[in-house]
Amino acid sequence: MSIENTKNNQLIAYIVKNHPKVSVTGIMKLCYLIDLFSIKKGGSKISDFNYVRYYYGPYDKSIRDGLDLLVQEKIVIPTSEFTPSGADYVVYSFNEDNDTGIDFNLIEENQETIDVLLENLKGYGAKTLTEVAYKTKPMLKLGATLGGDENIGVELDLNAR
């Protein structure tokens, strides 16, 4: 199995395919929220990501690494966009013409869970997804506040109640 076909990279590619014009921050938060929702629904995460509390919420460097690999393999396409104030940011789209062989077989059994969450968060951008992430129990348990630096680098307990 090629590296782009790991469960984690399939999840990233699936998010990009089904959440149009998503930024790296959006991908990061969606992976976290999907895993959190999956634990609540079925008792276990979909991915192998380990999230830590970072400046803009839940973070795992391997999500960025996986996204970079998907871009390198031309499975995912980055595009620069501009905010109304002129700030530049990058959004990602799925390359429907890719012939690299990525499929979603490793996450297939969790597709319904993923789809429900993506549908409920459809149209949410990075800012709103970050706000949602800060309201989750693992973030609240750490006392994390948006813009604050409480417990930076501490691993999030996705089973927090």
Bridge partners (DSSP) of residue 57 are: 54
Tokens 């690999």 belong to residue = 69
Q: Which overall architecture, per CATH, does domain 3-141 show?
A: Orthogonal Bundle (1.10)
What residue spans define the domains of the chain?
Answer: 3-141
| In contact, 100 and 118? CB cutoff 8 Å | no
The CA angle 86-129-54, to the nearest 5 degrees, is 90
Q: Phi and psi at residue 98, in whole multiples of 5°?
A: -65, 145
For 137-151, what is each residue's pLDDT tens digit?
999 999 999 999 999
Q: From CA 100, how far away is CA 86, in angstroms rounded?
A: 35
For 94-150, what is each residue's pLDDT tens digit?
998 866 667 888 888 999 999 999 999 999 999 999 999 999 999 999 999 999 999
Bridge partners (DSSP) of residue 52 are: 59, 155
Q: What is the mean pLDDT of residues 78-93?
A: 86
Q: What is the pTM of this model?
A: 0.93
